[in-house]
Each structure stands twice: as structure tokens, then as C-alpha cells.
Structure 1
Amino acid sequence: MPEEKQTPSYEQAREELTEVVRRLETGGLTLEQSIELWERGERLAAVCEEWLQGARAKLAAAMAQRQEPQPNGSDDAPF
């Protein structure tokens, strides 16, 4: 995860990113405010991407494990 003091959850980062985008689209900000919001949005997008990459890796590992032959010779999934 990112090196911030406390990494937000995926949902928190996505919600804040949505708010950042809304504020940027609304306008009425100074150039400096817009740049600061843009930079915050980039950091939040990176946090979201890290969470998603971690989730993809977990899903891939679970899928690979599920496709391995069962020790008793049965290919039936335990579910």
C-alpha cells in the first residue's frame, strides 16, 4: 500500500476521488486549488489501483488453486 500514514480503504479512496472530480468539474477554483485537487486525485487513483491489483491477485490465486487437481483424484469443487 502507499506510504501515507494511514491508507484509506478502497471505498474511502473511491468516495473521496469522486468528490475531487466533482469539485474540479464544478469549477470556480483557483489554479492552485485545482492543481492541489488534481494531485490529490492522482494519489487517490493510485490507492484505488493498488487495492484493485491486490484483489486481482487474490482472485487469480483462488482460481488457480481451485483448478488444481484434488488430492483424492476428484475434480469436483468442494462447493
Structure 2
Amino acid sequence: MTSNVSEAEETTVTGGAAEASEADRALGYEQARDELIEVVRRLEAGGTTLEESLALWERGEELAKVCRRWLDGARARLDAALAEDEETDTSGDGRG
């Protein structure tokens, strides 16, 4: 059976979730975001086969998860820093 899905896209889709996740974990936020933008652009442009569109959609979902993990991690770090500042403010003022 022949497929029009590129080899890289096929690896992402059929290469196993563990392999894709490991590669995606190495992506920085900006890299994942930029690739996601490109995936969306290609989907919006049309002209792809159903198989290509599905592969792009699945890749976009994985990239969105990578971006979400980065943003969640940044939020957690910010929350921790703010909580630390609050502790310092309340314990360092002589009233606590």
C-alpha cells in the first residue's frame, strides 16, 4: 500500500509514542511553537491528502502538548517564586 505521507511524518505517527515523546521532550518551547505554526499553515493551505492531513493534525496535537508542558512548567516556576517572595515578605518584616 502506498502512502503520500512523508517519511518524517510517518515516523512521528507510526514510530511509537515513546520515541516521538522523547524527541519532543528535547524541543524547546520556541521550536515547538514554530513547528506548530508551520503545521497549522500547511493544514490551512489545503492541498494535502487525507493521510497527510491526519499526520499533520497528529503532529500538531503533539506539538501543542509540548508547548503546554513548557507553559505549565513556567507557570509552576513563577508560582513558586511568588510564594517564596511572599514568605520572605511576611517572615522578614518582624511581624511574623
What interval of TM-score do these two structures reach, taking the shorter chain for normalisation? 0.7 to 0.9
Moved more, 5-14 or 36-45: 5-14
Q: Which residue of 2 aligns with 1:18?
A: 37
1 CA distance for matches of 2:91 and 2:76? 27
Instruction: Say if 2:74 is the partner of 1:55.
Output: yes
> Percent identity between the aligned chains?
58
* Cα distance change of structure 1 residues 3 and 30 upon mapping to structure 2, 3 Å threshold: closer
Count of aligned positions: 74
Shift of 1:72: 7.5
TM-score (norm. length: structure 1) = 0.83
Stretches of structure 2 that go unaligned for 5 or more consecutive residues are 1-19
Shift of 1:46: 0.2
1:5-64 CA distances to partner (integer Å, 9 max, x unpaired)?
A: 352000000000000000000000000000000000000000000000000000000000
More helix by share: 2
* Cα distance change of structure 1 residues 32 and 66 upon mapping to structure 2, 3 Å threshold: same
Instruction: Output the aligned Cα RMSD.
Output: 2.2
2 CA distance for matches of 1:72 and 1:14? 40
Instruction: Say if 2:25 is the partner of 1:4.
Output: no
